[in-house]
Structure 1
Amino acid sequence: MTSDNTVDGPPEAPILTDYADGVAQLTLNNPRRKNAITLEMAASIGDFCTRVENDPAIGAVVIRAAGAYFCSGADTRDLASSSADPASPAAVRRTSAVYSAFVRVGMLPVPTISRVVGGAVGAGLNLAMATDLMVVTPDARLESGFLARGIHPGGGHLALLGRAVGWSATIAMATCGVALTGEQAVTRGLAHLAAAEPELDARIAELTAPAAADPELTRRIMNSARLELGPPAVSWSSALEIERGVQMWSMARKGEGAWSSRGPGR
């Protein structure tokens, strides 16, 4: 496995990327606006996803943010421009660009982890939910936020919430203004784990290490997981067939001798 240990973009760039030891990291770098997602940032997220897709040495992705707040959603200046004529081609392009970036994250061929501190709201929560695992601080605030802004949820927000927390909690968050703390999010199944911020990076490193150590196998497992779990999920018998050929490939790669307790060839 190769590692280029590179950081792309000057420190003032709105998106920073880093590639090292089989892990690709993307940092939202717009802390003065609580890392609100601009069109430029959305385009950079798409570029990052393209690199991850095309680099077989990458086995895991971490999405994080500069400053004390993960993401406050789409940039309100873009939302204001779109509200002038929401059905116009320009408005549709703006909203589609932001949400398409999140879909790209959600379809990456490796496990993805969002590192959420402070909070995530609206499209910012969409970005966190697009990842496979959300790692949060106990006091982080996760909220839908669309109703509070007087607009309908977008970007598949209700579907993302629903698959994580179910009908009741989705309705509570989307229509009743209920927010979850990081600890509550773990209890509800929205987040994977909660830890104090100084501990987050170590916990994330524990999660990414196995995937980064064998990117080829990781990517094949992730492909099967997306096929089997969906949405929509497939039947048990279909899952058996999806896994059969890939497991045979992994066994051939391992080889007969590797199963010996005394080591290969013994």
Structure 2
Amino acid sequence: MNGLRAVVFDTDGVLLATADRHAAAWKETFDGCLPEWPPPYAGARPRPFDADREYRDLVDGKARLDGVRAFLAARHIDLPPGTPEDPPGCSTIHAVAARKEEVFTAMLRTDGVRAYEDVRPALEELRRKAIRCAAVSASRHARSLLESADLVGYFDALVDGQDAAALTLPGKPDPALFLEAARRLGVPPAHTAVVEDALAGVEAGHRGGFRFVLGLNREDDPHMRDALAAHGADLVLPDLGRLPDALEGECP
């Protein structure tokens, strides 16, 4: 594969159909808190969280605390940081992050999780070509979710939110998570590809000096396609069906 020896996959929205649940959990969290937060100017009505645009631009692919900070900054809302011991709520950044975690966990208990249909064929083809694979996620749930979807056995390495916390790795768009995955695979970034659906993740792959950054645009949204390219994707595809060919340079 022209010197390519490994692929690092984002998890939510790339491997697992959980992105819509993350968006819904963020919306429930922020919409529940917005009436309790002071508006940026007198008489303003809180505008509900946009589970499409704001999710994509501000929180998708980021660690929970970073997502909360980005949303608050965009809405000109100031909250104290709080501490990791804060219970779920709206009064601190940590409390809001804990609230989102609580909502998302409840959704998973109710609905479970599934892998996209194109994932296993793509991973099996990469295995046949002796390409090493890793999964990366800012979520602490990643390992259990991949296990429940019967995917974890396809990966030679996994870096999740628990690893990020233990190693104090910064979140995307910093490339630290991807670089740690490449390190665990024993393959340098110059011989590793990144597959991402989030703008912050594509930017992280670009910043990390990876050989190839593929943006995944499952909704085939032309605006998202352009945004992924603008953030550093070398190629944008609507699914993983053409991934092996794309990595061989056979796709236009």
TM-score (norm 1): 0.27
Give the structure, 1 or 2, with the largest relative contact order (CA under 8 Å, sep 6 or more): 2
Greater radius of gyration (CA): 1
Higher strand share goes to which structure?
A: 1
